């Protein structure tokens, strides 16, 4: 790694699930070594002039999934599973109040479904359907799939609404089956690589 003149290297923190950029910090060699040792992100605080493990006071730790260097070896990208908000202002990210956007919102939605499954809030449609079991979830996905197909050929103005319903219920079926988006993506990536090798 190429440290700057202050023996620091900038570190971009990204949510491993939603791919949302959470924050930017700095590490010296000691902070980097501590991060590898504990598997929790430790920065070097320029204001406090000491090592600082994110979450040491708030409990909002950043659990390391992967660490990558950029092409110039002078910046790190660390993907994490965060325990709570990353920002000291109690927001998910230090870069604005918005949550995950774009395709990252699908992964965020999966986390919402998992949380509902764990916390079991009353009057929740998601909880009600999950508790009805795998057969009901599968039936619901089948129904939504038919509605998407019909909208595609007969009711184009409703197509995206129906597709939204299908995706949400498909996420619930994944959660109800004990599987995740990551499991599906892994298979898709493997197939993509296989097909690319075949030309």
Using the predicted structure, report yes or no on whether residue 102 has a pLDDT greater than 90. no
DSSP 63-97: EEEEEEE-TTSS-EEEEEEESS-SSTTSSS-SS-S
Two domains, one topology: 9-82 and 104-198: no
**Coil vs helix vs strand at 10:** strand
Record the tokens describing residue 98, joined without a space.
């918005």
Task: Quote the pLDDT of residue 199.
Answer: 62
Counts for the chain of helices (H) and strands (E), in that order = 6, 6
Whether the pTM exceeds 0.85: the reply is: no
Record the tokens describing residue 49, joined without a space.
């002039």
Proportion of the chain above pLDDT 90, given as a percent: 85
Q: What are the b/e assignments for 160-199, b being 16+ CB within 10 Å? A: eebbebbebbbbbbbbbeeebbeeeeeeeeeeeeeeeeee
pLDDT per position as a tens digit, 161-186: 999 999 999 999 999 999 999 999 99
Q: Which CATH number fits domain 9-82: 3.30.1490.20, 3.30.360.10, 3.10.20.810, 3.40.50.2000?
A: 3.10.20.810
pLDDT per position as a tens digit, 126-171: 999 999 999 999 999 999 999 999 999 998 899 999 999 999 999 9
Record the tokens describing residue 85, joined without a space.
């908000």
> Could you tell me the pLDDT band of residue 10, with boundaries at 50, 70 and 90?
very high
Write down the CATH number for the domain with range 104-198.
Answer: 1.10.287.1080
The domains of the chain are located at 9-82, 104-198
């Amino acid at each position: 790694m190429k440290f700057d003149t202050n023996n620091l290297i900038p570190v971009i923190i990204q949510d491993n699930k939603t791919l949302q950029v959470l924050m930017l910090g700095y590490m010296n060699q000691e902070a980097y070594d501590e991060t590898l040792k504990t598997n929790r992100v430790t920065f070097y605080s320029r204001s406090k002039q000491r090592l600082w493990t994110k979450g040491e006071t708030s409990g909002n730790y950043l659990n390391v999934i992967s660490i990558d260097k950029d092409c110039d070896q002078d910046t790190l990208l660390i993907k994490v599973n965060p325990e709570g908000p990353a920002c000291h202002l109690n927001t998910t990210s230090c870069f604005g109040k918005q949550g995950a956007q774009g395709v990252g919102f699908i992964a965020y939605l999966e986390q919402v479904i998992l949380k509902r499954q764990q916390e079991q809030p009353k009057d929740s449609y998601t909880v009600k359907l999950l508790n009805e079991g795998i057969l009901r979830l599968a039936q619901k996905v089948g129904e939504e799939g038919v509605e998407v197909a019909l909208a595609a050929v007969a009711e184009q103005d409703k197509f995206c609404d129906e597709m939204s319903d299908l995706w949400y219920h498909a996420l619930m079926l994944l959660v109800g089956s004990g599987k995740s988006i990551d499991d599906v993506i892994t298979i898709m990536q493997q197939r993509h690589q296989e097909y690319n090798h075949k030309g």
